[in-house]
């Protein structure tokens, strides 16, 4: 064989391999002997038909295809060995010429990552400010959740919960028809149409309100878009929200000793949560900053593998074991979904490669005891500890835990570097 090598962009090598006549003849002869014993040809016992007769019966291309099926992988392996190439995946192979036979192999190589000087990066977490206003808002949200709806005898006001009978039509075509519908009169609501809630304001119980609204141009039923919709609404019940008093009794119902202790503890909890979020944001900023100053080149196959994993995760998220089953239900082609996921796949690949290089530079390792401790922590939270122990004993699951710990340990080390070793522990 004759091999021509060409370095391509994105960490790929193109090998053009010309098959010599002797190599092809031998492969054709092997293909003939393999095929002649499987094909019945009139006038000949199985396995006894001459090669030219077999070619006339099956077609010359069939014999050539069978020969190349075996020969191309053999020659490819010899080529990458002679060229001292270490591929990270299967090549893309294309036969580009038949006389003599020439095929091309596009070979994916290991990524090349040149890290910038990440030790010179200096980042700080966003300062956390939790004041009386933020604590007050949080307490009001708890108060809202504990509120109750109480029937009242008055016209409808914004913020009420009403029960209505509603009929609506567009040019005499039915649009809505509901009895005893519960509806919260929220001024920001756009349902069933923008302006509906505002038109209920001031309505009296058991009296019909008639009004017209314009169906938005973006409405999903196109024949209704940009047309007048006539509403006839009868309010049968009006309820207003009543909130509990903000006092010590309210705090005790929320499992606090007093309202003042509630404010104090909620402030502490909010600060802890905000500081945790600040550090999470810092971790992402640190990774982004290293990516920004680094050079990363990788073969396209890495993005395809990432998309494969994302498709599998998406299928499992919706309860499917197979991607194809998920696609049938989602009524989408795999090409559509792959293109949608491609935008997310690229940064994920780059970030993963950069973190992998940092781990290599910083000599990050995970010990067996660290894996054991992590598994033990996860098992503690389970109701079926025995089943979970069997699950985590599987080699691929344990390997997944190790990879996760390795990534987290690398990120923690990066944060330590960019913050000059400041402790991120939240008190």
Domain chopping of the chain, boundaries:
2-110, 148-242, 259-418
| Predicted confidence (pLDDT) per residue in 389-423, tens digit | 899 989 999 999 999 999 999 999 999 999 985 55
Q: What are the backbone angles phi and psi of residue 164, rounded to the nearest 5°?
A: -135, 155
Rounded Cα distance, 197 and 158, in Å:
8
Query: Percentage helix, strand, coil, to 5, in the chain?
Result: 50, 20, 30
The model's confidence at residue 321, banded by pLDDT at 50, 70 and 90, is confident
CA-to-CA dists, residue 29 to 3, 43, 75, 145, angstroms: 23, 22, 17, 81
Half-sphere exposure of 171 (CA within 13 A, CB side): 6
- 359 Cα distance to chain centroid: 24
**Average pLDDT of span 81-85:** 96
Proportion of the chain above pLDDT 70, given as a percent: 98
pLDDT band per the 50, 70, 90 thresholds, residue 335: confident
Q: Which residues of 91-112 are buried (b: 16+ CB within 10 A; e: fewer)?
A: bebeeeeeeebbbbbbbbbebe
Nearest Cα to Cα of residue 117 among 281, 295, 280, 283: 295
User: pTM to 2 decimals?
Assistant: 0.75
The end-to-end CA distance of the chain, in Å, is: 69
Query: Six-digit token pair at 395?
Result: 């080699």
Q: Which CATH architecture has domain 148-242?
A: Roll (3.10)
Give the span between the Cα atoms of 119 and 45, in whole angstroms: 77
CATH class (in words) of the domain with range 259-418:
mainly alpha
Q: Tell me the CA distances in angstroms from 242 to 2, 144, 148, one per residue in order.
A: 86, 9, 5
What is residue 332's predicted lDDT score, i.e. its pLDDT? Answer: 74
pLDDT of residue 216: 95
Q: From edge to edge, which strands make up the β-sheet containing 12-18?
A: 2-8, 12-18, 101-108, 92-98
**Residue 372 belongs to what H/E stretch?**
helix 368-380
Name the DSSP class of 62: H
pLDDT at 165 over 70: yes
Q: What is the pLDDT of residue 209?
A: 97
Q: pLDDT for 95-118, tens place per residue?
A: 999 889 999 999 999 999 999 999
* Cα–Cα distance for residue pair 100/25, rounded to 1 Å: 12
For the cut 80, the answer to whether the pLDDT of residue 331 exceeds it is no
Rounded Cα distance between 421 and 398, Å, is: 30
pLDDT tens digits, one per residue of 244-294? 999 999 999 999 999 999 999 999 999 999 999 999 999 999 999 999 999
Rg over CA atoms, the chain: 35
Asked if residue 155 has pLDDT above 90, the reply is yes
Res. 385: pLDDT tops 90:
no
Q: Which of 44-48, 155-159, 186-190 has the lowest mean pLDDT?
A: 44-48
Residue 46 has pLDDT above 80, yes or no: no
Is the per-residue pLDDT at 427 higher than 60?
no
- Contact in structure between 282 and 414 (CB atoms under 8 Å): no
Q: Is 426's pLDDT higher than 50? A: no
Measured distance CA(225)–CA(219) in Å, rounded: 6
Do 219 and 225 contact (CB within 8 A), yes or no?
Answer: yes
Q: Which CATH number fits domain 2-110: 3.30.465.10, 3.30.1330.10, 3.40.50.1460, 3.30.70.1050?
A: 3.30.70.1050
Confidence at residue 299, expressed as pLDDT on a 0 to 100 scale: 97
What's the gap between Cα 213 and its chain centre? Answer: 40
Q: What is the pLDDT of residue 421?
A: 58
């Amino acid at each position: 064989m004759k091999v021509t090598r060409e370095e391509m962009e994105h960490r790929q090598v193109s090998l053009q391999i010309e098959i010599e006549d002797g190599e092809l003849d031998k492969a054709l002869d092997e293909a003939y002997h393999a095929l002649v014993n499987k094909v019945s040809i009139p006038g000949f016992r199985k396995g006894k038909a001459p090669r030219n007769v077999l070619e006339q019966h099956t077609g010359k291309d069939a014999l050539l295809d069978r020969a190349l099926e075996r020969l191309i992988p053999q020659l490819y392996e010899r080529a990458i060995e002679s060229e001292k190439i270490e591929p990270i995946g299967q090549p893309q192979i294309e036969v580009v010429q038949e006389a003599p036979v020439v095929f091309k192999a596009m070979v994916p190589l290991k990524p090349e990552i040149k890290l910038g000087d990440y030790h010179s990066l200096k980042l700080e977490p966003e300062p956390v400010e939790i004041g009386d206003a933020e604590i007050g808002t949080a307490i009001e949200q708890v108060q809202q959740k504990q509120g109750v709806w109480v029937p009242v005898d008055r016209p409808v006001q914004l913020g009420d919960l009403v029960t209505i009978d509603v009929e609506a039509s567009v040019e005499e075509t039915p649009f809505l028809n509901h009895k005893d519908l519960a509806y919260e009169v929220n001024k920001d609501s756009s349902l069933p149409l923008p302006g509906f809630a505002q038109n209920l304001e001031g309505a009296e119980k058991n009296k019909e309100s008639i009004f017209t609204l314009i169906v938005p141009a973006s409405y999903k039923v196109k024949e209704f878009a940009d047309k007048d919709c006539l509403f006839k609404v009868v309010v049968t019940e009006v309820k207003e929200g009543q909130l509990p008093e903000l006092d010590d009794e309210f705090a005790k119902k929320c499992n606090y000793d007093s309202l003042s202790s509630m404010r104090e503890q909620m402030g502490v909890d909010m600060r802890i949560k905000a500081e945790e979020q600040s550090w999470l944001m810092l971790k992402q900023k640190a990774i982004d900053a290293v990516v920004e100053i680094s050079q990363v080149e990788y073969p396209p196959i890495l993005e395809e593998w990432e998309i494969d994993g994302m498709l599998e995760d998406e299928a499992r998220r919706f309860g499917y074991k197979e991607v194809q089953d998920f696609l049938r239900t989602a009524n989408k082609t795999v090409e559509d979904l792959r293109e949608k996921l491609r935008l997310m796949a690229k940064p994920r690949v780059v970030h993963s490669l950069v973190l992998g290089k940092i781990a290599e530079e910083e000599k990050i390792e995970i010990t067996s005891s660290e894996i054991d401790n992590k598994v033990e922590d996860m098992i503690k939270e389970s109701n079926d500890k025995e089943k979970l122990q069997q699950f985590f004993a599987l080699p691929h699951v344990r390997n997944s835990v190790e990879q996760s710990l390795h990534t987290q340990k690398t990120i923690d080390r990066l944060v330590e570097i960019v913050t000059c070793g400041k402790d991120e522990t939240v008190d």
